[in-house]
Amino acid sequence: MEQKIKEVDRMAANKVDNGFYGQDILSVSQFDRNKLDFIFGVADEMRMLVERFGSADLLQGKILANLFYEPSTRTSSSFMAAMLRLGGQVIPINNVQYSSVTKGESLPDTIRTLESYSDVIVIRHPEVGSAATAAHYASKPVINAGDGVGEHPTQALLDLFTVVEALGGISGLKVAMVGDLKYGRTVHSLTKLLVNYPVEFVFVSPDILRMPKDVIDVVDASGHQYTETEDVHDCIGDVDVLYITRVQKERFTDLAVYEAVKDHYVVDPALMSKAKQRMIVMHPLPRVNEISYAVDNDPRATYFRQMRNGMYVRMAVLAAVLGKA
């Protein structure tokens, strides 16, 4: 009996102590190293849980509203899988064109509706700040699954979790981000999260797709070193992480400009032959032409591992905000 009371106390304390219970996850700026360690620790447990048992009943009785105003394969299905593997249920809204959004319903009203049926809301939306708007109107936790060119915090969490798993740690790494640094929300979030660690940055992009000033300001303010270049050959030989991104076609107003830059960088066996033996190639996926299929079997190719880790990290995040981690 005493044992049981202690367990209940510990769970109650955890609800307060983990710092996530009932909270929105809108930006990576909410995370410090303690919080990252916590999420990574829970994600490790989730992996073991899935490998051993497949699923659990931790979130039984809980409902996730999965609201996607933009295309998604990995993010939406990994949030769904995460909820289902923890015994919860999902309201999937992937085709907003068939929802009342098409009738002209506002984001606040859609959120008010969904929060009355669910315990947590995941939202992807084309406008920067949309997840924060949703959170403003919701009393339930809101998780940002990509707000336009803004942020994609859970992607950055799974990216870092994968770096730790693949390279054993983060401190001291030289990280190159390559491609569409202007419109790529994953590199915005990843850069802002990496400033929690002593790392060095190389930003590789065409001039018109350089890292935005607000992200560079965060790097500057944290005292980190960074260099910017257009040529990936300037850094390929000495980076530990090569994080390449898709050129975000949907963000361009002039498609001729997109056509001109879309195939600027291609990771192929010739480029990989210049890279270190102990390094990793990452990509949030989907890829278009940025990584040749011939690289997929290179042991340094880490993008499919990122994708798998997404479910474990999202299981950890859902459990944390619902007070069950």
- Chain contacts with ligand NCD (rule: CB under 6 A): 74-75, 146, 152, 155, 185-186, 245-246, 284-285
Query: Cα–Cα distance between 267 and 103 in angstroms, integer?
Result: 44
Instruction: Compute the least distance from the CB of residue 283 to ligand NCD, in Å.
Output: 8
Query: Cα–Cα distance between 314 and 310 in angstroms, integer?
Result: 6
**Is 103 a catalytic site residue?**
yes
Can you point out the beta strands (E) in the chain?
A: 63-68, 89-93, 120-125, 142-147, 174-178, 200-204, 226-229, 241-244, 280-282
Q: Which of 62, 124, 174, 283 is an active site residue?
A: 124
- Neighbour count for residue 160 (Cβ, 10 Å): 24
| CB contact set of 223 (below 8 Å; sequence gap of 6+) | none
| CB contact set of 159 (below 8 Å; sequence gap of 6+) | 186, 190, 193, 243, 282, 284, 306
Instruction: Compute the least distance from the CB of residue 137 to ligand NCD, in Å.
Output: 23
Query: Cα–Cα distance between 171 and 169 in angstroms, integer?
Result: 6
Q: Which of 4, 103, 213, 253 is an active site residue?
A: 103
Q: Whose Cβ is closer to ligand NCD: residue 18's or residue 130's?
A: 130
The sign of the CA dihedral 284, 164, 144, 85 is: positive
Instruction: Compute the least distance from the CB of residue 55 to ligand NCD, in Å.
Output: 23
Q: Whose Cβ is closer to ligand NCD: residue 40's or residue 303's?
A: 303
Express the helix, strand and coil content of the chain in percent, nearest 5 each. Answer: 45, 15, 40
**Is 213 a catalytic site residue?**
no
Using DSSP bridges, classify how beta strands 89-93 and 63-68 pair: parallel, antiparallel or unpaired: parallel
Q: Which of 15, 35, 74, 300 is an active site residue?
A: 74
Q: Which of 47, 85, 140, 152 is an active site residue?
A: 152
Q: Whose Cβ is closer to ligand NCD: residue 196's or residue 306's?
A: 306
Please give the order of strands across the beta sheet that includes 142-147. Answer: 89-93, 63-68, 120-125, 142-147
Q: Whose Cβ is closer to ligand NCD: residue 125's or residue 185's?
A: 185
Query: Cα–Cα distance between 213 and 78 in angstroms, integer?
Result: 31
Q: Which of 47, 62, 75, 302 is an active site residue?
A: 75
Instruction: Compute the least distance from the CB of residue 35 to ligand NCD, in Å.
Output: 21
Instruction: Compute the least distance from the CB of residue 185 to ligand NCD, in Å.
Output: 5
**Is 74 a catalytic site residue?**
yes
Instruction: Compute the least distance from the CB of residue 60 to ligand NCD, in Å.
Output: 28
- Total residues belonging to the chain: 325
Q: Whose Cβ is closer to ligand NCD: residue 246's or residue 262's?
A: 246
Q: Whose Cβ is closer to ligand NCD: residue 264's or residue 324's?
A: 264
Instruction: Catalogue the active-site residues.
Output: 74-75, 103, 124, 152
